[in-house]
Structure 1
């Protein structure tokens, strides 16, 4: 299962899924800590970290910027840095790693030189203009002609001051500025335009990671922060398991009446997606309306689970899903309707799932297009636990954040039939 074929057909298990799965480390926390460690002076060690496409791109880019990043084992990074990133003659290629692109765009302002950041075809469709505009207001020469990558940043250091950023599309713009601001020459005040933010829980992850490496940030009301120019100190840090990955296993457990031990309970996670566990536990009586704004990466899991719910479910607060690795609202509606026409519909930026418990046990041969999006692939595998004939195209795209996903399902007794 380590190198899946061009497609995998999920065979519905005849028994509850029971077993233990070791979750990968959090992608969100790993990439935050990698960059902060690279901005720190000294040697930092990250344990329990994720090794996936997204974090590999971040580590490779940091090496280009003069940082020593070693990988002594499968879940550790050792980062040795001087506290200053160095210019790179070659562009930084970041694939479709959104966190790496946004965080490094802001960090490039601290580099005394020009940095070009680029990605694959999917990344070149992901908006970054609000972050570029915020950097310009801070006096940084930054340019993204298409409002998406590639981005060019002519860094001369951050001078400090106040900046207002539009975080309506992504909280990552705020996190990027927060992380870089600790390396400014003077305090930086960051405020939200209109007070709107995508997923505030991820800001909290950023603040916690900064504090672990000596960053000092004070809140300014509900929608602002003051970052002191402390720089960062090297540290040892443990990366929490990935809560978004946990949602697939919680849902698999619930759908099959099984018992899957992932090593810690939902209330032990600091990541916002862990809040999805309570909604998963409510199945097959999930609430009629679910606000997905603070658990955005869990929405694909919840949407596929809702297909079997006893009543329709409307997902609100999810407009940001249109600018993820793909338009996830459109993808979820399209692929659920491949399984059965009328199962889902888009209503503006809401997604309505017309749950039907009678789908359980049916044979509905369906090839699921995954749009090179790991979360679409992993979520629709759950449909295959209850419906025969679900075939996941491009299953290897899960390597973006959870390379061992198919192995984990197989270890629980799920049969996966690769195309031959």
Structure 2
């Protein structure tokens, strides 16, 4: 059994064509919206990974017909509602699935319990539960994290909800996708100015409109959603921008040219903003605000280790409640290469680059976090002796990641346990 992969720094620029997988964020939104619609929807370009499989399995358990004709497509047959599952829904560490389905469980006429693995049971969901209660929906999460129990009635009476989205924009997205099921128009309002990755809410609204919902922004911090059913529709999922960041970084680290088949400007996902930052390497900005491209921060932090000058990452407190504490993880793992290479200062991460020839061989812990594994692998493109433990954790969002590097000419040596 392979317990690690050692990356051998390539002696040539990485060149070639790599097709990133479909967007996890968009695939999970489209799966849910197609499931809530009455009729058949075909999703193409979709991601097949641990996260989207958990979503599909849960929807099947609630009476939705889901076929998988190809490796990148789903055929979703919805009835316009969701049935009560026979058992608790286990969703691994799929945060989008847990949060979106927690809200969608209000469409069920019965009790739904949603849970996940040990990591998921540490990820906050309290603000979403409080918001759902304010709409008159019975929901509880005694620990403030999953497991969650929702007792749905098929609809709800509330017309206005305020939600604290400081920890995650997914709370807002979950409520937005729920809102058309109300008995009247629903206004969703931010409680405070803080919100993680606002661009993901734009993705949600665009997907909702594609499936027939009437959703409109009302200023910077509120949205009005009209009641009405979702309509079945075919939907094409664009490639995953977060996955693209690793390939963009690999390109500049090696002086290569990697064709992703899509221009950076054609992405609609927030993490595509990282492209313009990555293109500045090895002269990255002294301060990078990661608040609106959160999943790209580990990529940028790995890149910063080889920059000409130090980089401070700010606006990243939300990274502490992802699949792991990514601020602490990146500080710890980068510093395995050279003590003090990265340090935490409050919720900031400061990376002070050094000559890669001074880096020590390192066995990188991944904390079962796909983004730690994929971003830290980038350091192995320049630093000899970087071994990534638990390499299979990339299956959460990019199962073919190691194959993509291999296809570009990166040699990977398996390490047995």
Give the shorter-chain TM-score range: over 0.9
Q: Distance in 2 between matches of 1:162 and 1:355?
A: 49
Match of 1:419, SS? strand
Q: Distance in 2 between matches of 1:32 and 1:191?
A: 20
Write the deviation string for residues 308-360 of structure 1: whole angstroms up to 9, x where unpaired.
Answer: 1111101001110000000000000000111110111111111111122x11x
Are 1:364 and 2:360 an aligned pair?
Answer: yes
Kept in 2: contact 1:110–1:184 (CA 8 A): no
Aligned mate of 1:212, from 210, 213, 229: 210
Aligned mate of 2:235, from 216, 234, 237: 237
Taking structure 2 as the reference length, what is the TM-score of the superposition?
Answer: 0.98
Q: Distance in 2 between matches of 1:295 and 1:30?
A: 18
Kept in 1: contact 2:159–2:182 (CA 8 A): no
Query: Quick one: structure 1 residues 169 and 200, their matched pair in 2 at CA, closer, same or farther if it must change by over 3 Å?
Result: same
Aligned twin of 2:306: 308
Map of 1:177-192 to 2, 5 A cutoff?
177-192=175-190
Aligned twin of 1:252: 250
Aligned mate of 1:151, from 137, 148, 151: 148
* Deviation (angstroms), 1:252: 0.2
Kept in 2: contact 1:160–1:181 (CA 8 A): no
Kept in 2: contact 1:44–1:235 (CA 8 A): yes
Aligned twin of 1:13: 10
Write the deviation string for residues 210-229 of structure 1: whole angstroms up to 9, x where unpaired.
Answer: 01100111111110001111
Aligned twin of 2:344: 346
Taking structure 1 as the reference length, what is the TM-score of the superposition?
Answer: 0.98
Kept in 2: contact 1:7–1:395 (CA 8 A): yes
Write the deviation string for residues 123-157 of structure 1: whole angstroms up to 9, x where unpaired.
Answer: 00000000001011111110101100000001112
Match of 2:213, SS? coil
Kept in 2: contact 1:287–1:313 (CA 8 A): yes
* Deviation (angstroms), 1:89: 2.0
Q: Distance in 1 between matches of 2:6 and 2:128?
A: 41
Are 1:407 and 2:403 an aligned pair?
Answer: yes
Kept in 2: contact 1:46–1:237 (CA 8 A): yes
Q: Distance in 2 between matches of 1:184 and 1:135?
A: 12
Match of 1:379, SS? helix
Q: Distance in 2 between matches of 1:66 and 1:185?
A: 23
Q: Distance in 2 between matches of 1:158 and 1:321?
A: 33
Q: Distance in 2 between matches of 1:159 and 1:146?
A: 26
Task: Give 5+ residue unaligned stretches, structure 2.
Answer: none
Write the deviation string for residues 185-230 of structure 1: whole angstroms up to 9, x where unpaired.
Answer: 2111100001321110000000010011001111111100011112
Q: Distance in 2 between matches of 1:143 and 1:64?
A: 21
Kept in 2: contact 1:319–1:350 (CA 8 A): yes
Aligned twin of 2:84: 87
Match of 1:19, SS? strand
Aligned mate of 2:326, from 328, 334, 358: 328
Match of 1:164, SS? strand
* Deviation (angstroms), 1:362: 5.0
* Deviation (angstroms), 1:100: 0.2
Kept in 2: contact 1:183–1:230 (CA 8 A): yes
Match of 1:267, SS? helix
Aligned mate of 1:29, from 26, 30, 42: 26
Write the deviation string for residues 143-178 of structure 1: whole angstroms up to 9, x where unpaired.
Answer: 101100000001112224100000000000000000
* Deviation (angstroms), 1:363: 5.7
* Deviation (angstroms), 1:179: 0.3
Q: Distance in 2 between matches of 1:343 and 1:362?
A: 11
Aligned twin of 1:46: 43
Task: Give 5+ residue unaligned stretches, structure 1.
Answer: none
Match of 2:227, SS? coil
Q: Distance in 1 between matches of 2:401 and 2:172?
A: 30
Aligned mate of 2:128, from 104, 127, 131: 131
Aligned mate of 2:94, from 94, 97, 101: 97
Number of aligned positions between the proteins? 415
Aligned twin of 1:62: 59
Write the deviation string for residues 36-68 of structure 1: whole angstroms up to 9, x where unpaired.
Answer: 000001000000000000000000000000000
Aligned twin of 1:228: 226
Q: Distance in 2 between matches of 1:332 and 1:313?
A: 13
Kept in 2: contact 1:363–1:389 (CA 8 A): no
Moved over 4 A (4+): none
